[in-house]
């Protein structure tokens, strides 16, 4: 991993300014989740637009020869089209990459950044692949009902571009991934795919009580199930990775968790006995940015550190799928752009 850039929409939403819910409920929500504000993309800006801007600036400032990018992966659950076509080839074209570049989508969310990295790393063990570009992010605001308290105060929009290059030095990058589809409905958009095709009923709003109103094409977040999963599975995958790589907390300079919610992430941190100084958060200002949350945290909280010297990072994404992945890697003089606002 040699360079990284993150782009977010300019528009900020402050939870305390939300007039649809009681102030007391909002205060409680903020103290539990840690989310004060987040960014929202306007209708005309998609995830790929944010990712395109991040990638263009990154490749430009790093002075990368675009013909050397042999692989482009777009990780997102909010693509431009419902997978026909994939968004990655569109990005290959807009970025002016070679037609010999392999480009495809990986539609994962919370675990997506780590999955995207592992896919690129696996391809790049083959020396035919010189450089790989991972464009990763989501615009959850487009999938959420404003009257759904479980999600409308939590999620923010963001995307990132990360460059991977083959080096001659040996490098550390260990992964531990997993899946459990029995929890497929813990985070789900029910209608609009081929299991439940879009119909007139899909757009009918239903009041589920407790401040939750949404239609069948909008995001469902079963908070209790996701919480219970996260506090159990995230520490487990990290402990397994520690065992496999023969490392411990001492081997980690910074641990970057998917920004799910503060209470959940703090429980995970405490279970692992990781010092608070090693575990930065971007939740307060950007909310839960789905597959972009690890890069958003890296860029907004650690860029000064990462630009200079070597750092050992522990990354862990967990959520929709259910799916999870952790990664231990070493970065050296990472090229990190300041946060881009669109």
Partner 1 sequence: MEISKFLQNFADILEDTAPSLITENTIFRDLDEWDSLTALSLIAMVDEEYGIKLTGENIKTSTTIKDLFEKVNG
Binding site for partner 1 (CB under 8 A): 25, 28-29, 32, 150, 186, 210, 222-225, 227-228, 231-232, 263-264, 267
| CA atoms of 215 and 275, how far apart (whole Å) | 42
Cα 318–Cα 37–Cα 17 angle in degrees, nearest 5 = 135
We find the least distance from the C-beta atom of residue 288 to partner 1, in angstroms, to be 14
256 by DSSP, 3-state: which? strand
Cβ distance 229 to 261 under 8 Å?
no
In this complex, which beta carbon is closest to partner 1, that of residue 33 or of residue 48? 33
We find the least distance from the C-beta atom of residue 233 to partner 1, in angstroms, to be 10
In this complex, which beta carbon is closest to partner 1, that of residue 192 or of residue 223? 223
In this complex, which beta carbon is closest to partner 1, that of residue 100 or of residue 182? 182
We find the least distance from the C-beta atom of residue 268 to partner 1, in angstroms, to be 11
- Rg of the chain in Å (alpha carbons): 19
Closest CA to 100 of 134, 58, 129, 122: 129
In this complex, which beta carbon is closest to partner 1, that of residue 165 or of residue 284? 284
In this complex, which beta carbon is closest to partner 1, that of residue 84 or of residue 224? 224
Residue 56 CB neighbour total at 10 angstroms: 17
Residue with tokens 């990781």: 274
| CA atoms of 55 and 214, how far apart (whole Å) | 34
We find the least distance from the C-beta atom of residue 98 to partner 1, in angstroms, to be 48
We find the least distance from the C-beta atom of residue 261 to partner 1, in angstroms, to be 8
In this complex, which beta carbon is closest to partner 1, that of residue 150 or of residue 152? 150
Query: Which tokens sit at 179?
Result: 């899946």
Phi, psi of 268 (to 5 degrees): -65, -45
We find the least distance from the C-beta atom of residue 61 to partner 1, in angstroms, to be 42
Sign of CA dihedral 99, 102, 107, 109: negative
| CA atoms of 89 and 74, how far apart (whole Å) | 9
């Amino acid at each position: 991993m040699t360079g990284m850039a993150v782009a977010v929409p300019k528009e900020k939403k402050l939870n305390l300014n939300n007039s649809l819910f009681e102030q007391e409920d909002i205060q409680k929500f903020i103290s539990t989740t840690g989310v004060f504000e987040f960014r929202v993309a306007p209708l005309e800006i998609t995830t790929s637009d944010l990712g395109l801007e991040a990638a263009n600036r990154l490749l430009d400032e790093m002075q990368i020869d675009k013909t050397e990018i042999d692989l482009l992966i777009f990780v997102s659950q909010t693509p431009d089209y419902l997978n026909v076509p994939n968004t990655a080839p569109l990005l290959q074209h807009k970025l002016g990459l070679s037609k010999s570049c392999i480009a495809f989508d990986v539609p994962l969310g919370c675990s997506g950044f780590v999955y995207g990295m592992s896919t690129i790393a696996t391809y790049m063990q083959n020396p035919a692949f010189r450089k790989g570009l991972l464009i990763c992010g989501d615009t959850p605001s487009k999938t959420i009902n404003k009257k759904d308290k479980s999600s409308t105060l939590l999620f923010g929009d963001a995307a990132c571009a990360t460059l991977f290059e083959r080096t001659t030095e040996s490098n550390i990058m260990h992964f531990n991934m997993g899946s459990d589809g029995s929890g497929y409905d813990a985070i789900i958009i029910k209608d609009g795919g081929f299991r439940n095709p879009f119909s007139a009923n899909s757009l009918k709003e239903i009041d589920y009580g407790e401040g939750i109103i949404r239609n069948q094409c909008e995001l469902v977040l079963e908070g209790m199930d996701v919480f219970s999963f996260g506090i159990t599975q995230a520490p487990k995958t990290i402990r397994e990775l520690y065992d496999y790589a023969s490392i411990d907390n001492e081997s980690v300079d910074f641990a970057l968790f998917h920004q799910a919610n503060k209470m959940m992430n703090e429980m995970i941190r405490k279970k692992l006995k990781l010092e608070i100084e090693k575990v930065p958060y971007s939740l307060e200002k950007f909310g839960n940015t789905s597959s972009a949350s690890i890069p958003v945290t890296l860029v907004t909280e650690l860029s000064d550190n990462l630009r200079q010297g070597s750092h050992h990072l522990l990354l862990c994404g967990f959520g929709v799928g259910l799916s999870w992945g952790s990664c231990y890697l070493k970065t050296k003089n990472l090229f990190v752009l300041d946060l881009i606002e669109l």
